[in-house]
Amino acid sequence: MKARYLLLLASCAILPLSHGGEALAAGGAAVQVLRYSPGAPQLNYLRIQPVAEIPEPASEPLNGRIAYDENRTSRVSSPIAGRVVKLVAQPGDHVKAGQPLLWLDSPDLGSALADQRKADVDLHLKNLAYQRAKTLFEGEVLAKKDFESADADLKQSQAEASRAHARMKNLTSGSTAGLDGRFALRAPITGIVAERQANPGAEIRPDNPAPLYVITDPNHLWASVDLSERDLGKVHVNQTISVEVDAYPGKRFAGKVASIGVALDPASRRVQVRCILDNPEGSLKPEMYARITPLVDKGRNALQVPNTALITEGLNTFVFVETAPGALKRRRVLLSTQGREQSVIKAGLKSGERVVTTGALLLNSELASGRK
C-alpha cells in the first residue's frame, strides 16, 4: 500500500499552471522549474540577462561625494583693493599660469608703485653719499662717525627698497605695472576656470570671503568618504576603489585610497577617507554624490545581479535562472553584499548564467500557484 502511494506522488510531480506554464518538483520541491513554449506571451514580460562579473568588493558601497583635487586647484583672490574694469577669463576657459584673469582699477597699486620708485631714488642718493663718505674716510678727511652714519643710512635705504619691491612683486606676480593704477589678477596655475565670482564694476577687497576665481585640473579629482568605525578595517591606503554616480548608471570609475584620517569625529563617530580619481573624459563633476566601493586587493571577480532579480522569502533569497530556452528554474543564492540597486552573489550562480532581472516576482507567484 505504501509503495503504491509513493508511486502516485511521483506521477503527480508535474502540476499544471495557469497561463501556459508548468512547475516541476523533485525530492520535495528541491528543484522548481517553469517551462514555457516558444512564443508564449509570458516571455514578453520578462527580461533575462547574463550575470554581470565585477571586481570583488571588500564592503558594501559607501556614500561619498566628488570634490576638487586640492593639490591641483587654486582659489584666486585679489591681494589689493580695486574695482573690476575688465573680465578676461570666463568659466570653462583654459588658462595658463601667469595669464590675466581680470583687470582692476586700483589706486592702492599706484601708491605702491610710487613707494617703490621713491625707495629706488632714495637708495641711489644714499649710495652716492656712502661712496663719497668712504673716499673721504679713506683719505683721512672725514671722521669715522660720519662714515658710519652714511653706512647706516645706506643700509636703511636698502631695506626700504627691498620692502617696496617685495610688495610690488606680491601684487603683480612679477609683471610690470603702469602708473595708471591698472592691476592684473593673474592665474597662479595652468588649468580650467571652474568658478567665477567677479562681476564687471564690482568692488574688490583682499578680505572678500569668497575667491574671485577657482582654477582646477578637471582630469584629476578627489572622492571623500565619511567612513563608519565598523568599516574602518576594510579600507587601507592604496586600496583600489570603484565609484558609481547616478548620472551614469552601470558605469564604474576606478580610483584608489590616498589617505585615511588619523582620528574619528567625536560627534558622528566617522573618519574621513580621501580617494583620488582619474577623470580624463570629464564625466565626473565636483560635488556629485557617489557610491564608493572598496575592492579586495587580490583582484578577484564576483557576480552581481540587480535587486529586481531577487526573491526574498524569510531568510532565503532566490533568483530565476534560464537553464534552457523557455525553462526558468528558481534557485537559492547567498548574498555577499546588497546595495541600493545591485547585489553581489556569494554562492548559487556561475559566470555566464542568465537570470531573470524583470518579472521575477510574477514568476514566483505563478510558481507558488502551481504548488497549491
What lies within 8 Å, CB to CB, of 47 at 6+ separation is 356, 357, 358, 359
| Distance separating the N- and C-terminal Cα atoms of the chain | 25
Domain CATH for 312: 2.40.420.20
Is 1 a domain residue? Answer: no
C-alpha angle with apex 178: 174 to 182, nearest 5 degrees? 90
pLDDT for 154 beyond 70? yes
Q: Give percent of the chain above pLDDT 70.
A: 88
Domain CATH for 106: 2.40.50.100
pLDDT for 18 beyond 60? no
pLDDT of residue 20: 43
Is 166 a domain residue? Answer: yes
Q: Quick one: DSSP state of residue 199? A: -
Whether residues 285 and 322 fall in one domain: no
pLDDT for 181 beyond 90? no
pTM: 0.65
In this structure, which amino acid lies at residue 229? Answer: E
Domain CATH for 221: 2.40.30.170
Contact 164, 112 (CB under 8 A): yes
Whether residues 329 and 278 fall in one domain: no
pLDDT for 28 beyond 60? no
**Rounded to whole angstroms, how far apart are CA atoms 364 and 320?**
8
Confidence of residue 239 (pLDDT cuts 50, 70, 90): very high
Is 308 a domain residue? Answer: yes
Whether residues 154 and 197 fall in one domain: yes
Q: Domain end: 184, 215, 246, which one? A: 215
* Residue 125: C-alpha distances to residues 128, 137, 150, 152, 224 (Å): 5, 18, 11, 13, 59
pLDDT for 318 beyond 50? yes
What lies within 8 Å, CB to CB, of 108 at 6+ separation is 80, 81, 82
pLDDT of residue 25: 39
Whether residues 139 and 228 fall in one domain: no
Residue spans of beta strands (DSSP E) within 155-237: 182-186, 191-196, 203-204, 213-216, 220-228
Structural domain for 326, as ranges:
7-56+302-371
Whether residues 91 and 179 fall in one domain: yes
Averaged over 197-205, what is the pLDDT? 91
Is 313 a domain residue? Answer: yes
Whether residues 184 and 99 fall in one domain: yes
pLDDT for 174 beyond 80? no
Averaged over 244-267, what is the pLDDT? 91
Closest by alpha carbon to 305, among 320, 292, 293?
A: 320
Is 360 a domain residue? Answer: yes
Whether residues 153 and 208 fall in one domain: yes
Averaged over 251-264, what is the pLDDT? 92
Q: Domain end: 189, 215, 241, which one? A: 215
- Tell me the pLDDT tens digit for each residue of 268-298: 889 999 999 999 898 999 999 999 988 887 7
Whether residues 92 and 48 fall in one domain: no
pLDDT for 30 beyond 60? no
Is 251 a domain residue? Answer: yes
Confidence of residue 177 (pLDDT cuts 50, 70, 90): low
- Tell me the pLDDT tens digit for each residue of 124-151: 999 999 999 999 988 888 888 988 999 9
Is 275 a domain residue? Answer: yes
Whether residues 195 and 152 fall in one domain: yes
Query: Nine-digit cell at 155?
Result: 643700509
pLDDT of residue 17: 37
Is 2 a domain residue? Answer: no
* Buried/exposed code over 267-282 (b: 16+ C-beta within 10 A; e: otherwise): eeebbbbbbbbebeee
pLDDT of residue 173: 60
Confidence of residue 370 (pLDDT cuts 50, 70, 90): low
Whether residues 223 and 208 fall in one domain: no
**Mean pLDDT of the chain, nearest integer:** 84
Closest by alpha carbon to 258, among 282, 233, 281, 241?
A: 241
Contact 354, 48 (CB under 8 A): yes
What lies within 8 Å, CB to CB, of 189 at 6+ separation is 72, 74, 97, 215
Structural domains counted in the chain: 3
Confidence of residue 180 (pLDDT cuts 50, 70, 90): low
Q: Domain end: 271, 294, 317, which one? A: 294
Identify the residue with better confidence: 347 or 297: 347
pLDDT of residue 325: 87
Whether residues 86 and 51 fall in one domain: no
Contact 323, 79 (CB under 8 A): no
**Rounded to whole angstroms, how far apart are CA atoms 147 and 153?**
10
Whether residues 186 and 131 fall in one domain: yes
Pairing of strands 270-278, 220-228: antiparallel
Averaged over 6-20, what is the pLDDT? 36
